[in-house]
A and B are shown apart, each in its own frame.
Chain A
Amino acid sequence: MHPFVASTLGGLIIGLASALLLLSQGRIAGISGISASAAFGPREGWRLAFVAGLGVGGLVLLQSMPTAFAVPVDRSLFLLAAAGLLVGFGTQLGRGCTSGHGVCGLGRLSRRSALATGAFMLTGFATASLLHLMGGAR
């Protein structure tokens, strides 16, 4: 399958998954918010169930298409730790990530989410591009 076709299909499934949560319970499928609350409260059952679904989905992928997983080839553990800290803190301060702002927010035509998505895309592009230009990321 051409990568663009797989990507589009993957996107359609992500859209379905988010639409399911919206239409069944009026909730936004924002993974940073759901997982932070599942870990640190308020720990409601549906949040734990959503995170469990992500895990079981991961297991299904691991069985059916293990090549879907890859860790970055040119990033040290130190960089990944720094990345995790920034992603964890930034998504809480900005109240959303790629799912909540990028998919659900843009799909709702939310101006807040459009600006947030613009901001994280801009710094994401800038960071990855600068690291590349500096000749590797270790």
Chain B
Amino acid sequence: MKLEAESPLGLSISAFASGLLFALGLGLGGMTDANTVLGFLNLAGDWNPSLAFVMLGAIAVYAPAYRLYAKLHRNEQAPWQSSMCNVPTHTHIDRQLLVGAAIFGVGWGLGGFCPGPALVSVVTGAVPVMVFIAAMALGMYAFRRFAAKGL
């Protein structure tokens, strides 16, 4: 059986590999240690700049990868079906974008977790992580159930 990259199984395999790699990067980078994250976000204490290196490292790989993607896409040499190309194309700056991001930042500074590291930390079974994840799911649900309707 030939496995096509864009078959449902092919998509799941590459997505699984991406999630697995992502988790390892978060762990190695210090993002799953909420105290390292808070040490970065707290400028009033003993500042720990290490997380800036995580972002720089990630962008150093992703930026050229995106240029390659854009070139392949333009020349229609993409290994994926164009119908599934899901890179956002809208450029409009609206209040939802800025208010939503600002709310997210407050939550990040309060708890020291953003979604990825929190999900990766579920395997520890630690109560604070479980509380955070349950509340995060509730926040996502609340948005879909109530707020998204009014936008």
Name A residues whose Cβ lies closer than 8 Å to a Cβ of B.
3-4, 6-29, 31-32, 35-36, 39-40, 45-62, 65, 68-73, 75, 77, 79-99, 101-104, 106-112, 115-117, 119-133, 137
Contacts and interface: CB of A to CB of B under 8 A. Distances in A.
Given A70-B35, A123-B109, A125-B109, A91 B100 contact: yes
21 contacts: A3-B50, A7-B50, A10-B25, A10-B29, A11-B58, A26-B82, A31-B116, A36-B140, A53-B18, A62-B123, A72-B111, A80-B131, A82-B107, A85-B138, A85-B142, A90-B100, A106-B55, A107-B65, A108-B66, A123-B106, A124-B106
Contact of B11 (A45, A62, A79): A45
A14 B58 contact: yes
Contacts of B1: none
Q: Is the interface of B mostly helix, strand, loop or mixed?
A: helix
Given A65-B28, A85-B139, A89-B100, 13 more contacts: A20-B14, A23-B69, A53-B16, A53-B18, A69-B27, A69-B32, A88-B140, A88-B143, A90-B103, A112-B92, A120-B102, A127-B109, A129-B41
Contact of A86 (B15, B45, B55, B107): B107
Contacts, number: 507
Contacts of B129: 71
Interface of B: 5-6, 8, 11-36, 38, 41-45, 48-63, 65-66, 68-69, 72-73, 78-80, 82, 84-88, 90-93, 96-116, 118-124, 126-129, 131-144, 147-148
6 nearest A-B pairs in the assembled complex, by CB-CB distance: A10-B29, A11-B57, A53-B19, A57-B23, A88-B139, A94-B100
